[in-house]
Structure 1
Amino acid sequence: MGSLVAGANAALTAENPGLTDVMVGLGWSVIASRGPQAELVPLALLCDGDGRVLSDAHLVFFNQLASPDSAVVFAGSEDQEQIDVHLPGVPEQVAKIVFAVYADPEIRGPGTFAAVRDAYIHVAGADGRELVRFGIAPGKLDSITAMMFGELYRHRDGWKFRALGQGYTTGLRGLAADFGFGI
């Protein structure tokens, strides 16, 4: 399938019959600094048809490594973060899984994406073969404090991936307001 641009989508299960498990990798590099540096935190949001997280238990991140059904699990770190998704195990009420990253303002300074370079999200099959990749376009990111990288979403009887690259200036609070979870 190759590389996507923002807004593009790819039919994962239609183009890969028998695909049941995917690994979603998120990665980036940060310009080295002796001063404040952003600490980026990835998360997966399991959303219903209205785009709202089913419950706070359906927010998968460093403090909650798996969804209640264990269909979405933080797995490895060959990228900055890897999240395994067992597609048949995702509850029917989940219409999409959004993969986002926010800059933790409490750790080391400005809490923005200003020093972030080469950010990407990719989806690979269980055999490790990359199915699709989306590189976040570099740009003016000094006011961006959270970003949706991409999403897996249901389409008819299968799953698709959509490249997003949508930034927030309101950070984790903005994500929480849009997706309806508590922080």
Structure 2
Amino acid sequence: MAINLKKGQRINLKKEAPGLTKVMCGLGWDVAESKGLFGLFKGKDFDLDASVFCLTNRDKLKSKSDVIYFGNLNHSSGGITHLGDNLTGAGEGDDEQILVDLTKIPDDIVKLLFVVNIYKAKQRQQSFGQVKNAFVRLVNLSNNKEIARYSLLGEEYDGKTGMILAEVYRDNEGWQMEAVGKGLMANGLQEMTNEYY
């Protein structure tokens, strides 16, 4: 059974899923309904973009190619593949998926930071407070079993336009996962990467 992570909670992936080598990180969300003069109406489409920052032991990116997102779908190691951009969040289940082969992650990359930002948030006057049912989950690709899930409460992130969802990192015990859930005021992905150079 999958673990429902709380903010700041860590799990040992080796212990929770022995022999784990390939994982899928799925991200999903719905747009909250707004109350208008004539009752409920659906808000505008939200384009949330999931990305992975591949960080060194100094929490730094070596180059732009270590940011995997809709404009750079594959890491040069072959270890990370972004399956493409969902522009609206429509539909059930995962809206965006990122595949990771942990055996192919180069030794000098010790942390995979899973982040999400709202595309053109400032222009569209959107924030995570208008998003509901947002989650990030990790699935073992060898058996398609969900290992862990972290659900975000939108109201807590009102005014935030970027988010560090979770990190998968390695230490002496192997690969671990931590639910971070840190909201940011960021005008786009570029702004989010700046502090990691």
For 2:176 and 2:186, the matched residues in 1 are separated by 28
Structure 2 partner of 1:28: 29
- Matches of residues 110-125 of structure 1 in structure 2 within 5 Å? 110-125=125-140
For 1:71 and 1:121, the matched residues in 2 are separated by 19
Question: Which range is displaced more, 34-43 or 123-132?
Answer: 34-43
Structure 2 partner of 1:143: 159
Listed as ranges, the gaps of 5+ residues in structure 1 are none
For 1:136 and 1:89, the matched residues in 2 are separated by 30
TM-score calculated relative to the size of structure 2 = 0.82
Contact 1:102–1:145 (8 Å) recurs in 2: yes
1:56 alignment partner, one of 60, 64, 74: 64
Query: SS of 1:117's equivalent?
Result: strand
Query: SS of 2:60's equivalent?
Result: coil
Identity of aligned residues (%): 26
- Corresponding pairs, count: 180
Correspondence 1:71 to 2:108:
no
Contact 1:60–1:72 (8 Å) recurs in 2: yes
Partner AA of 2:27 in structure 1: L
Structure 2 partner of 1:169: 185
Contact 2:17–2:140 (8 Å) recurs in 1: no
Structure 2 partner of 1:153: 169
For 1:53 and 1:116, the matched residues in 2 are separated by 29
For 1:165 and 1:171, the matched residues in 2 are separated by 18
The Cα of 1:157 is off from its aligned counterpart by 4.7
